Copies of this chain bind each other. A is one copy, B any other.
Amino acid sequence: MPTATSDDDRDPDLVAVNEGVDVAGELTRPGGLDRERILRGAVDFIDAHGLAALTMRRLGASLGVEAMALYRYVPGREDLLDGVVDMVVETLFVKDDGDDLYIEEHHGWQDYLMRLGHGIRRIALAHPSVFPLVASRPPAAPWVRPPLRSLRLVESFLGTLTEGGFSDQAAVAAYRAYSSFLLGHLLLEVTQLGAQVSLLDQPEGDPEAQRKTDLSVFPNLLRTEQLLSLDKSAAEFEDALENLLDRLERVLHEAQTSDGEVADLA
């Protein structure tokens, strides 16, 4: 146990979360609180224990401090959750070593939309318990559409499509269509991830028999149960993304040749 304080009467389960080694490879508590350290701690906590378990008091404990100390750096719980969302989304703009999804090194708008989609998906799968927060927190502005929750991101989206030949209307319509595609797919994907583990958590007295009997009233469900249980999320994501790109391309070319009204593509 590195540099442990002498009066260590804290919950060992919570302390363990944070006195290990974090993602960046540094010790998590080399003295001194910090807004960023708190947000990072909150992300780690949610990843480890789920969103419902996050309280100010427990977060404080996991950082080796009383809950009250957090209020010096964070106005309150709501603001903290907003900060968590921001922090996780900003990950898009940091370039990992050998990152072939780095969003700012794109070649054309199609490549940009591919990188963006895969980038957000990577975030969702890396933090499945945080993603529902990204999906449903009330946005700062009415036109900030989850999961694309960053002015910088929306700006680069619109800029890239405009450079690619989209009119302002078409770029905005594309932004809308793209964000709802991403939100639907990724939220369902992380929801299903959560459902898988919660099933393993409750091994109660033969739940199989009970569930099967219920299904007997639903012949189509019963017949396709195997198919329904297959997880094809990755392939479906690729297909839907590709389909969306095709659709956008079609709109773009129609606009360039016939100059018809194209705002209503979404």
Contact = CB atoms under 8 A, between A and B. Distances in A.
Given A183-B187, A184-B182, A224-B168, A243 B247 contact: yes
A123 interface: no
Contacts of A155: 218-221
Interface stretch (A11-19, A92-100, A233-241): A233-241
A136 B139 contact: no
A125 to B, nearest CB: 16
A249 to B, nearest CB: 14
Interface residues on A, range: 35 or more
B247 A266 contact: no
Given A135-B187, A181-B184, A188-B180, A266 B236 contact: yes
A172 interface: yes
Contacts of A177: 236, 240
Contacts of A139: 191-192, 195
A194 B135 contact: no
A179 interface: yes
A240 B223 CA distance: 30
A93 to B, nearest CB: 14
Nearest to A158: B220
Given A138-B195, A264-B235, A187 B187 contact: yes
B182 A221 contact: no
A154 B136 CA distance: 25
Nearest to A145: B188
A172 B227 contact: yes
Interface string A40-60: 000000000000000000000
Contacts of A20: none
Interface string A231-266: 010011001100100010000000000000001111
A199 interface: yes
Contact of A146 (B191, B227, B243): B191
B264 A239 contact: yes
